Amino acid sequence: MPRTRSLAWSELKLGVLTIVAIIVASVTVFMVMGGRGFFWQRYSLKTRFGNVAGLKPGSPVRVAGKEVGAVSDVQFSGEQVEVIFEVNRSVRDSITTGSVATLGSVSLLGTGAVDITLSRRGTSIPEWGYVPAGPAPAQFSDLATQANQGVQEISKLVQDIRQGRGTVGKLMTDDQLYVELHKFVAAAAEVTRGIQQGQGSIGRFMKDPKIANSLEASLKNLETMTTRINAGEGSLGKLLKDDAFALALTDTTSNLKELTGKLNRGEGTAGKLMTDTALYNRLNSLSDRFDQLLTRLNDGQGTMGQLLKDKQLYENMNGVVTDLRTLVADIRKDPRKYLNVKVSIF
């Protein structure tokens, strides 16, 4: 029969230390992994980019800036690059069909990361599902290329200026343009001195107190007139303030509108003249006949025409009238001479 042996404290101490070391190692691994969790706490998702810009397995995956997983694989898929990554199941409700995956960076050195926007809208993306990819952000190489292009443009601009191209280049290289500009500045300075000395209209306006006083008086008169108008004085004031005048003006406008309506409807003589075609035609025919009559008179046709045109007929008629006047005068002077009445009795 084997003899039982009690465990010594030294042996128990070794086991306890081993268990504590395992616990500490587990906690350390969990803290180093951040919020990724253990393998049974993670699930896999996918996305596709046109360019991963150095993204590699182990790169962090962040949701709204918080690290929740890591990239597990990067592989080609047609003309794009497929990225497979694992995230903690605790953020499953935050990664939905409304989320967008973009490329980010961890540091200025360009260490890649996958950034996913947090979205509660839509439905949760199932395991091995695809997260919609957003537009690729500008890379440092792109910025460097743009900066290089900008430097080249500036160099070309400086070269053009040195060669006298453009307005600035001519200003820097053309001596005649410089001389003309200098003359212009000198003339402007002379004009300014003249104004300061009270020369010319602008100078007198600035220096002569009479002009300033006249202008001030004109402004006061304008202010007085405006005050009177606002107070309802004068014709303009009544037009603005007098309700009776406004009503009368409104009535006049209404009457004018009514009169215009009657004319348009053909009521009254003027309305018929504007709308009745037969009346217009008769007036037009009368005008034509009157025109023909005047034409015949001007041509000397008819009695009236000959009277207007035939000088001999006019003189004959004038002579007859003269003789008639003479005869009437003689009869008035001596009526017996012309009125001799004889009475005979059988």
Q: Which pLDDT tens digit goes with each residue over 148-165?
A: 778 888 888 777 777 777
136 pLDDT band, cuts 50/70/90, is low
97 close to 120: Cβ distance less than 8 angstroms:
no
Higher per-residue pLDDT: 315 or 87: 87
pLDDT score of 1: 45
Residue-wise pLDDT for 7-22, tens only, equals: 555 656 666 667 766 7
Residue 63, beta-bridge partner list: 66, 116
Q: Six-digit token pair at 156? A: 């070309």
36 pLDDT band, cuts 50/70/90, is low
The mean pLDDT value for 71-83 works out to: 91
pLDDT tops 70 at residue 251: yes
pLDDT score of 45: 92
257 pLDDT band, cuts 50/70/90, is confident
Percent of the chain with pLDDT over 90: 12
- Lowest mean pLDDT across 28-42, 94-108, 127-141: 28-42
Q: How far apart are CA 101 and CA 48, in angstroms?
A: 9
Query: Is the model's pTM score more than 0.85?
Result: no
pLDDT score of 34: 47
pLDDT score of 331: 78
Residue 168: CB partners within 8 Å, gap ≥ 6?
161
The mean pLDDT value for 80-92 works out to: 91
